[in-house]
Amino acid sequence: MKAVTWHGKRDVRVDTVPDPKIEDPTDAIVRITTTGICGSDLHLYEVLGPFLSEGDILGHEPMGIVEEVGPGVTEIHPGQRVVIPFNVSCGTCFMCAQGLQSQCETTQVRDHGMGAALFGYTKLYGQVPGGQAEYLRVPFGNTLPIVVPEGLPDERFVYLSDVLPTAWQAVEYAGIPKDGSVVVLGLGPIGDMSARIARHRGVQRVIGVDLVPERLARARLHGIDVLDLREHQDDLGEVIRGMTGGRGPDAVIDAVGMEAHGSPSAKIAQQMAGLLPDAVAAPLMQQAGVDRLNALYLAIDIVRRGGTISVIGVYGGMTDPLPMLTIFDKQIQLRVGQANVRRWVPDILPLLTDGDPLGVEGFATHTLPLDQAPQAYEIFQKKQDGAIKILLQP
């Protein structure tokens, strides 16, 4: 089969690799019909190379048709249409029963002290082959795949793999009062969808911050108040406080993560780590503070006293410096973590089959053949051609 594979920094290729096979009685093989490139895939493309091996299959936002099932699979059958969550979770352990599928005790990557395995996402998360491919082996066939109806295009459902539950959890964790306010830092796919979900759930004031013109224009079309970071490098906090009664918003969602703009020293640290041999760079990145924290610092400054910061952008450093005095003094609540995909599906799925209030059809700016994945990664990483969300079709 054809699959998107990692070969080095900014070097992904479409290779011919062996087809996946049933390895466990509860496995399923899914023929992929649509798969997304996630913003966190760009961390693999740019920063997290020390945790990858050449030839690793990327991707964690797939959907498709069940092709084959193992003898222990009774809940799905060949021919059904399914979305695959990015968490590889069993659905039956203690953590899964708590709705914490990202902490699944069956797939925790204990060798690295990490939570649940993820499709297509580094040695730290199990090095499980990903879904930017023609076929995918899916474990836990009775509990992991999400069966979706026929008759509507893939774009209605593919975002159940990651974008929608991640954004839903970001808003849920933010705990925004309906008559309250939220600032979303970063209007890439997750930030954009978080802002839409907040509006859909009745939040009175939603303010989005970014510096990419296409992202700002797109959010504005969905009723989001937007601020261009390029125009407010030095006064963003004051401007937002002026828009929110002088106090700041009730909540801030950090949808940026480790590669924030405005963090020059950490950017240099990331670049230096990228020049080191993997055997040296990997432990350095695990043990050092190499995140670019400007977005998180902004969130701490912007949020009102007693407010909540919901961090959904990916961070990776272990000793990142945080202004603990400010966090304590402002009585800030901080909620973070990988999205627990399966937990939020019952809330989201009805919104995809009854109208389209979140605007998922048309959410992708580009839909390209799988063979064009290298070009797709490049334009996404460089923010060229208005690329905000890219789907690949094998």
DSSP string, 130-161: -SSBSEEEES-TTTS-EE--SSS-GGGTGGGG
Contact 290, 269 (CB under 8 A): yes
User: What confidence score (pLDDT) does residue 130 get?
Assistant: 98
User: What confidence score (pLDDT) does residue 88 get?
Assistant: 98
Q: Give the angle subtended at the CA of 208 by the CAs of 207 and 213, to the nearest 5°.
A: 140
Q: Distance (Å, rounded) from C-alpha 17 to C-alpha 27?
A: 19
Residue type, 215: R
User: What confidence score (pLDDT) does residue 345 get?
Assistant: 97
Quick one: how many helices (H) and strands (E) in the chain? 12, 15
User: What confidence score (pLDDT) does residue 355 get?
Assistant: 87
User: What confidence score (pLDDT) does residue 336 get?
Assistant: 94
CB atoms within 10 A of CB 232: 15
Q: Distance (Å, rounded) from C-alpha 369 to C-alpha 143?
A: 30
**Residue spans of beta strands (DSSP E) within 222-353:** 225-228, 251-254, 308-311, 333-336
User: What confidence score (pLDDT) does residue 233 get?
Assistant: 87
User: What confidence score (pLDDT) does residue 280 get?
Assistant: 45
Q: Distance (Å, rounded) from C-alpha 292 to C-alpha 285?
A: 12
Using CA atoms, how far residue 243 sits from 138, 233, 329, in Å, is 47, 17, 23
**Considering just the CA atoms, what is the radius of gyration of the chain in Å?**
20
User: What confidence score (pLDDT) does residue 277 get?
Assistant: 52
User: What confidence score (pLDDT) does residue 43 get?
Assistant: 85
Task: Judge residue 321's burial from the number of C-beta atoms within 10 Å of its C-beta, 0-12 exposed, 13-18 middle, 19 or more buried.
Answer: exposed
Question: How would you classify the pairing of strands 251-254 and 225-228?
Answer: unpaired
Cα torsion 45, 46, 50, 54: sign: positive
Contact 78, 67 (CB under 8 A): yes
DSSP string, 213-236: HHHHHHHHHTT-EEEEGGG-TTTH
Dihedral, CA atoms, 87, 93, 97, 99, nearest 10 degrees? -20
CB atoms within 10 A of CB 322: 13
Contact 209, 226 (CB under 8 A): yes
User: What confidence score (pLDDT) does residue 343 get?
Assistant: 98
User: What confidence score (pLDDT) does residue 317 get?
Assistant: 66
User: What confidence score (pLDDT) does residue 326 get?
Assistant: 93
DSSP 116: S
**Residue spans of beta strands (DSSP E) within 81-129:** 81-83
pLDDT in tens, the chain (394 residues): 999 999 999 999 999 999 999 999 999 999 999 999 998 899 899 877 888 999 999 999 999 999 999 999 999 999 999 999 999 999 999 999 999 999 999 999 999 999 999 999 989 999 999 999 999 999 999 999 999 999 999 999 999 999 999 999 999 999 999 899 999 999 999 999 999 999 999 999 999 999 999 999 999 999 999 999 999 989 999 999 999 999 999 999 999 876 544 444 444 444 444 444 555 455 545 544 445 688 899 999 999 999 999 999 887 666 678 889 999 999 999 999 999 999 999 999 999 998 899 999 999 999 999 999 999 999 999 999 999 999 999 9
Tokens standing for residue 339? 């999205």
Evaluate if pTM is beyond 0.85. Answer: yes
The set of residues, in sequence order, having a beta carbon less than 8 Å from that of 49 and lying 6+ positions away, is 6, 8, 9, 274, 278, 281
Tokens standing for residue 11? 């070097």
Walk me through the domains of the chain, giving residue ranges and CATH numbers: 2-162+340-393 (3.90.180.10), 164-336 (3.40.50.720)
